[in-house]
Amino acid sequence: MIVAVDVHYTEPGAIAAGVCFEDWADACPAHSAISRFDAVKPYEPGAFYRRELPCILGLLHAHALRPDIVIVDGHVFLDGNGRPGLGKHLFDALEGRVPVIGVAKTAFVGIGDDHALLRGDSARPLYVSAAGMPLHLAKSHIETMHGTHRLPTLLKAADRACRDAAR
């Protein structure tokens, strides 16, 4: 099972969503999971993971999700030198047993062009990074995901699930 996760912030808490699917080309999730958190840590520049990681781990635990791969909205590594981002902290929290792919809409300073991936009809790349699998394989997986636009269908679904639950 592959799980794409996202977190949406509300005042004062957050909502985490996981969209679960079996195949990279799936257009619809097998199922989705939502968790609400009454409080989250404040945003801290350079340490975003401190805010988001507890929500993702809480979602996985609350719904007994045991993914083979997790996709996060963000970076695994923040640069080409191994500076850890949200995805690397998640990989470590999962004891290195579950590969994590990060898909970010913007480049972080120092991230190389080898992380850029053009999808669909977009001229703007996504930035892919990974822990627990080679970068070229992570990029290939994201490239083959369903959807003709820049952001794959099921990554959009995770974002939408968070936002819809906040209403």
Residue ranges and CATH numbers for the domains of the chain are 2-166 (3.30.2170.10)
Which residues 6+ apart lie within 8 Å of 126 measured at CB? Answer: 103, 104, 105, 116, 117, 118, 119, 142, 150, 151
Which residues 6+ apart lie within 8 Å of 29 measured at CB? Answer: 19, 20, 21, 154, 157
| 50 to 84, 151, 155: CA distances (angstroms) | 12, 25, 22
Phi/psi of residue 129, each to 5°? -140, 160
Q: Rounded to two decimals, what is the model's pTM?
A: 0.95
pLDDT tens, position by position, 90-139: 999 999 999 999 999 988 877 878 899 999 888 899 999 999 999 999 99
Distance CA 77, CA 101 (A): 10
pLDDT at site 84: 92
| pLDDT class of 161 with cuts at 50, 70, 90 | very high
The first and second tokens of residue 127, run together, are 């930035």
Angle at 83 between CA 78 and CA 87, to 5 degrees: 60
Q: What is the mean pLDDT of residues 55-77?
A: 96
The residue written with tokens 């819809």 in the block is 164
pLDDT at site 78: 83
